[in-house]
Structure 1
Amino acid sequence: MTINDAKPQRRLGRPPRGTEGEVTLRILDAATQVFLSESFDAVSIDDIASAACISKKTFYTRFASKGDLFEAFAVRFIEERIQPVEQIDLEKMSTAEALHDIAAGILRTVLCPDVVALQRNVMAEAIRFPELARSLEDFGQSRIAAIVERCLEEGVRRGEIQVKDIRFAASYFVTAMVRGPFHRATIGLERPEFSHVKHDNLKRALDLFLSGCLPR
């Protein structure tokens, strides 16, 4: 692996007192480096310790296993990329505009090489670690669905749309707008990018979704 070619410049060992939080962040940064470039099996604790410039003993004072680190890395990775979508000001636009910006923001986030690489790693380990795969799926899904639910609730409050089951509608919205392009990129059928074609497809799918939510 390429990370083994670079020798750490400082001596490995116990970190100085007061730097424990910084060391944990360094381990997570190293995990990002290695897990996005290699498969889960190909990465060893030695690889991570070398990339983080720490000893294996220091690693195990913070994470019980490679699997625990992978989950912590993945949760942080997802959290950082969902935050910009969560910050969309839904109250300053129509429901249609807000749903468009949410879907476009999510697709821009997930249709990039790093996110696709993470998804491929999770899929590859899903059989051996189903609980890990399920928890990461639920974490990402719940955060995205919560954004859509807030938007739909606001649209209903304004009288712009009618939705009887907001939770179901939010889940359906994510499936219709996001899951297809993301899945095709993950299995290599399409490039991991939010192209003009994907944007046009999003707008058509959004029009179809909204047509089923118009007040009657």
Structure 2
Amino acid sequence: MAAIDKASTSRQPGRLGRPPRGSEGEVTLRIMAAAKPVFLREGFEATSLDIIAASAGMSKKTIYARFASKEDLFEAVIVRYIEEHIPPVEQAATGDGPVAERLHRIALAVLEVALWPDTIAARRIIVAEAGRFPEFARLLHDFGVARVVPLIERCLEEGNASGAIAVEDVRLAADFFFSIAIRTFVDRAELGLERPGLSHVKRETLRQAVDFFMKACRPG
């Protein structure tokens, strides 16, 4: 019986320490998956690697073997979060159709992710820590905004080429569209002025914003 008990004990799950060889990528993903809800729930300052290690079911040493610091881990979590949700936006931008329809698809695809409670929580953390860690905001811009605006620019350039619109400064027009059709909604949710999520009222307001923008872009 003692031998059976000993063998059973040696196979107990949840042991902390070095992961099996060949599982490094999987372990890194486990760490980030465990860290994300902790960061979003507790905030950056209140989160410790001890809490994340306990949530991931591994040692803090294992985390340090992959991430140099809590800041490094948070950055990895944010980049992965963005990378997971950018493809639907890029896909929305590739479809055919009138300029207004394509712009609406892009903005809607962005807002469907940007207004999620998790996204709003992440943005609040980034803003709160901007003074100490401006690199967090740069990540949000470089991996998010900087990849969405060119999609809008391309749509406007093609609209110019077809004669559907007449825009002299495509980059300025794209920034303006991003502001009225995307950023305003996100800022209001981030400040708590509106609830997260894409409600019927927000959808109608988005449609009006697109119509307003298109009127300003009409030729002649």
Q: Which amino acid aligns with 2:117?
A: P
Give me the whole-angstrom Cα distance separating, in 2, the residues matched to 1:176 and 1:161.
18
Report the counterpart of residue 135 of structure 1 in structure 2. 139
The Cα of 1:75 is off from its aligned counterpart by 0.9
The structure 1 residue matched to 2:32, chosen from 28, 33, 42, is: 28
Structure 1 residue 131: Cα displacement:
2.5
- Residue 9 of structure 1 deviates from its aligned partner by 4.4
Give me the whole-angstrom Cα distance separating, in 1, the residues matched to 2:154 and 2:119. 25
Aligned residue in 1 for 2:79: 75
Contact 1:108 1:194 in 2 (8 A): yes
Partner of 1:121: 125
Match in the other structure for 2:4: none
Q: 1:215 to 1:147 in 2, by over 3 A?
A: same
- Structure 2 unaligned regions, length at least 5: 1-11
Matched residue SS, 2:42 = coil
Note closer, same or farther for the CA distance 1:174–1:141 as it changes in structure 2 (3 Å cut): same
Alpha carbon RMSD of aligned pairs, Å?
1.5
Give 1:194 shift. 0.9
Partners of 1:166 and 1:98 in 2: how far apart? 16
- Superposed CA deviations along residues 133-166 of structure 1, whole A, max 9, x for unmatched, are 2332333110111221121122122221122222
Aligned-partner SS, 2:195: coil
1:186 maps to 2:190: yes
Matches within 5 A, 1:168-183: 168-183=172-187
Q: Indicate yes or no: 2:176 matched with 1:164.
A: no
How far off is 1:15 after superposition? 0.6
**Alpha-carbon distance in 2 for matches of 1:102, 1:194:** 14
Q: How far, CA to CA, are the matches of 1:132 and 1:77 in structure 2?
A: 13
Identity of aligned residues (%): 54
**Counterpart code for 1:165:** D
Q: Specify the code of the residue in structure 1 equivalent to 2:114.
A: V
1:210 aligns with: 214
State whether residues 27 and 52 of structure 1, in contact with CA within 8 Å, keep that contact through their aligned partners in structure 2.
yes
TM-score (norm 2): 0.90
Equivalent residues of 2:92, 2:109 under 8 A apart: no
Looking at CA atoms only, which structure, 1 or 2, has the larger radius of gyration? Answer: 2
- For 1:25 and 1:54, the matched residues in 2 are separated by 13
Secondary structure of 1:193's match?
Answer: coil
- The yes-or-no answer on 1:45 pairing with 2:59 is no
In 2, the alpha carbon distance for the partners of 1:43 and 1:13 equals 21
Normalising by structure 1, what TM-score? 0.91
1:38-85 deviations in Å (ceiling 9; x for gaps): 110111011111112221111111110000110110011112122111
Q: Is the 8 A contact 2:167 2:173 kept in 1?
A: yes
Letter of the 1:14 partner, please give it.
Answer: R
Rounded Cα–Cα distance in structure 1 between residues aligned with 2:140 and 2:47:
19
Q: Number of residue pairs matched?
A: 209
Assess if the C-alpha contact under 8 Å between 2:117 and 2:196 holds in 1.
Answer: yes
